[in-house]
Amino acid sequence: MLVTFLGCGDGFSVLQGHNSALFEFDETNLCIDFPESNHLGLHRLGMQLNQIENIFITHLHEDHINGLQKLALFHRVYPGKTKPKLFVPAGLKDDLWQCLRHGLELTTRGKLAFEDYFDIVCVEERFMIAGFTFELVQTLHVPEMLSYGIVCKPHFYFSGDTRLEERFILDVAGEVRTIYHECHMQDDHLPSHTSLDELLTLPEAVQEKLILMHYVDDYLDWGTREEFHAKHKVRLAEPLVRYD
């Protein structure tokens, strides 16, 4: 399994792509979330939008879904090997179509449905791709908003957008090698995100498993990253680098 961040930026990021990770397996791939900035990220990897075969959506904030309309239209105009399969938490499916339908429903060939663009798999608890099992974990992002992370044992936990759930992180750290965790790196604390200060209170053995994502543009510069890495055990996700 190869992992590449197509973007690691937060919702207001200008210079980095918004947060999204591409997992590549022998025969297929999976993208977690699909912001519009993925188009450029994929282009830089030498890939086309129609090569994306599976997508999982963590929640409906626009920086996580605003590339889906383009992806859907691109696949219709330039069909890839397969119609894209969209794994969507069951409770998000109808609302996701409401976000997308204004640009997808009416076409020159008549009215189309969500299912005309994607093979939709409503996920209750888990789904499988290429022999790997991905379990949904509900996260604490915004009160009453459905939002999810994913555990793929024994490989990784991917937090999506969330506040820190310390008990869960301590438990899951015993079951996976890597934890991709969102991190609001600025000094102000946001009630819907996890701050660096909070992550630095975790035991060192857990911090060593942490790769931070969904962070502000201030850390793009090589020198700033080096300085950060010299000071901390946690690591910053590096965009467009293929990790094994």
Site residues for Zn ion per CB under 5 A: 11, 61, 63, 161
Closest distance of CB 88 from Zn ion, Å: 16
Closest distance of CB 197 from Zn ion, Å: 19
Our CA angle for 9, 199, 233, nearest 5°, is 85
| Cα 243 from Cα 102, distance rounded (Å) | 37
The sign one gets for the Cα dihedral 4, 151, 70, 67 is negative
User: 1 or 142: whose CB is closer to Zn ion?
Assistant: 142
What residues have CB less than 8 Å from 133, skipping those under 6 apart? 126, 127, 152, 153
Closest distance of CB 107 from Zn ion, Å: 30
User: Smallest Cα–Cα separation from 33: which of 4, 9, 70, 67?
Assistant: 67
Closest distance of CB 30 from Zn ion, Å: 18
User: 188 or 204: whose CB is closer to Zn ion?
Assistant: 188
Closest distance of CB 24 from Zn ion, Å: 23
User: 117 or 160: whose CB is closer to Zn ion?
Assistant: 160
Residue with tokens 């109808």: 94
| Cα 29 from Cα 5, distance rounded (Å) | 13
Our CA angle for 240, 243, 244, nearest 5°, is 150
User: 53 or 63: whose CB is closer to Zn ion?
Assistant: 63
3-state secondary structure at position 176:
coil
User: 84 or 160: whose CB is closer to Zn ion?
Assistant: 160
